[in-house]
Amino acid sequence: MRKAKDEQSPAAKAKRPGIEESFRLLDELLERLEDEDTPLEESFELYEKGLKLIKGVESQIDKVEQKLQILGTEEKEALIGDDDTEDDEKGD
Greatest Cα pair distance, the chain, in angstroms, is: 80
Query: Could you give the number of structural domains in the chain?
Result: 1
* C-alpha span between 24 and 12 (Å, rounded): 20
- Residue 10 inside a domain? The answer is no
Please give the residue range of the domain that contains residue 70.
Answer: 18-91
Determine which helix (DSSP H) or strand (DSSP E) holds 39, and give its type and residue range.
Answer: none
Comparing CA positions, the residue from 32, 27, 26 lying closest to residue 50 is 26
Give 80's pLDDT tier (boundaries 50, 70, 90). confident
Q: Which residues of 33-58 are buried (b: 16+ CB within 10 A; e: fewer)?
A: eeeeeeeeeeeeebeeebeebeebbe
- Residue 2 inside a domain? The answer is no
- Residue 4 inside a domain? The answer is no
- Residue 13 inside a domain? The answer is no
Higher pLDDT: 90 or 31? It is 31
Q: Which of 11-15, 32-36, 45-49, 78-82 has the lowest mean pLDDT?
A: 11-15
Q: Which pLDDT tens digit goes with each residue over 17-71?
A: 899 999 999 999 999 999 999 999 999 999 999 999 999 999 999 999 999 999 9
Count of CA atoms in the C-beta half-sphere (13 A) of 71 = 6
- Residue 6 inside a domain? The answer is no
Highest mean pLDDT among 9-13, 15-19, 28-32, 79-83: 28-32
Question: Pseudo-torsion of CA 62, 11, 23, 67, nearest 10°?
Answer: 20
- Residue 8 inside a domain? The answer is no
pLDDT score, position 29: 97
